[in-house]
């Protein structure tokens, strides 16, 4: 997910996307603890996506 894809979305869409990504982080962490996660870079990518979404939310709210 790139910032340019996120930046044109509305605040409600961004908050829904943020909630979805946080749930994904939760499930990935659970899989990591139970040794079911094969690709550990998914966790890192999800964290970066959350940071991008939060940046877009801050920018959208300041407009």
Q: Rounded to an integer, what distance in angstroms lies between the CA atom of residue 59 and that of residue 20?
A: 20
Q: Rounded to an integer, what distance in angstroms lies between the CA atom of residue 35 and that of residue 25?
A: 15
pLDDT digits (tens, 9 = 90+) for 28-41: 999 999 999 999 99
Tokens 């946080």 -> residue: 22
Does the pLDDT at position 57 exceed 90?
yes
Q: In the predicted model, what is the mean pLDDT of residues 11-35?
A: 96
Domain that holds residue 47: 3-62
Query: What DSSP element (H or E) covers 7?
Result: helix 3-7
Count of domains forming the chain: 1
CATH number, domain at 9?
Answer: 1.10.287
Instruction: Give 32's Cβ-side CA count (13 Å radius).
Output: 12
State pTM to two decimals: 0.90
């Amino acid at each position: 997910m790139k910032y340019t894809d996120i930046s044109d979305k509305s605040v409600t869409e961004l908050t829904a996307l943020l909630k979805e990504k946080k749930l994904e982080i939760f499930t990935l962490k659970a899989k990591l603890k139970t040794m079911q996660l094969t690709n550990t870079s998914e966790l890192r990518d999800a964290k970066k996506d959350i940071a991008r979404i939060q940046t877009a939310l801050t920018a959208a709210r300041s407009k």
